[in-house]
Structure 1
């Protein structure tokens, strides 16, 4: 019962994060910090070690996101009409992230009692990339989240985190909303010259 109450609290703060992020409100990062702190503990207890580590990294990235949105130019501000990293830039990221995730997943499968190591690891690695893109306010972050969140629905449901799986179903709708909202704010994204 206590675990499900903590999961509910994490879920509510996670929803708050995405709604606030969709409206590009800086308070999204505080909501993310609270949610991720709770989830880090819950996922560790559920033997989703990469997800637990991911949540701990998210806490750090939330601090970076807060600072970035407050004091630095975002990718959207650096490029008139919005920001878009080139396909070449994304392919370069995939070229090193895919083998890195494979090495981590294999290591976890051999040396730990972690569950669902391949899905856990690949969603973790690409969630970090997508979160970094959010801190830059880069529009294409939302394409990553559509794929990642779809996988998370299955992963969390299969591990018994039913409320969190349902959260990610809601996330899919909110991601579509965020895409529309960000497109309204920046209707004509252009590739960043410095991005690739």
Structure 2
């Protein structure tokens, strides 16, 4: 127990900051609050430093791209229907998109994994690449409010949870555990919203 407390005290402030901003960002996204994107950007910037510090280069590159994707999501969620022609609502990903996303994840895992492995420095390159590819899919799906984003997050977060647990980076272990719990909550809440909208539409058409 004393060793665990000592390890917690030795953890840098940026790890705690990444944890807190990430948790707040995911919670606000579950509630469809636009402010979530600001916290996501703060979290991603923090994890750029953390991931390169620990040697997870795909994870670091992912967070660099995520800063831009978060900006896109922030913009997309703030656009009124009058400007975009349709309001972004919680929905299922179209069947065609699912196959495209699945192929993109497979290609990303092989391509990014090969690049990381060729450096000779990256740790667990193909697992890192797979988690990264799933997270890219999740972030894109979240920006479009597709409910499947939560499934992609869960898969990605499970992989990185194992990484950080093995490295004993306890704030990140806690963060990704909370991420998984919030992703499950997001799935259930968004599923209920889809069902409620479908029921309302059926009653209106009747």
Q: Is TM > 0.5 for Structure 1 vs Structure 2? A: yes
TM-score of the superposed pair, with normalisation by structure 2: 0.82
Greater Cα offset, 91-100 or 147-156: 91-100
Partner of 2:154: 146
Runs of 4+ in 1 over 3 A off after TM superposition: 76-79
Q: Map 1:38-187 to 2 at 5 A.
A: 38-71=46-79, 77=87, 82-187=90-195
Please say if residues 84 and 189 of structure 1, whose CA atoms lie closer than 8 Å, have aligned partners that are also in contact.
no
Q: How many residues align?
A: 187
Aligned mates of 2:56, 2:88 — CA distance in 1? 38
Greater Cα offset, 40-49 or 99-108: 99-108
What secondary structure sits across from 2:153 in the alignment?
helix
Cα shift readout 1:39-67 (whole Å, capped 9, x = no counterpart): 10111111111111111111111110110
Partner of 2:204: none
Cα shift readout 1:49-94 (whole Å, capped 9, x = no counterpart): 11111111111111101100011669x9467xx4212334212222
- If asked which structure has higher relative contact order (CA below 8 Å, sep 6+), I would say 1
Distance 1:115 1:34, change over 3 A: same
Structure 1 unaligned regions, length at least 5: 191-196
Aligned mates of 1:72, 1:61 — CA distance in 2? 19
What secondary structure sits across from 1:186 in the alignment?
helix
* Structure showing greater Rg: 2
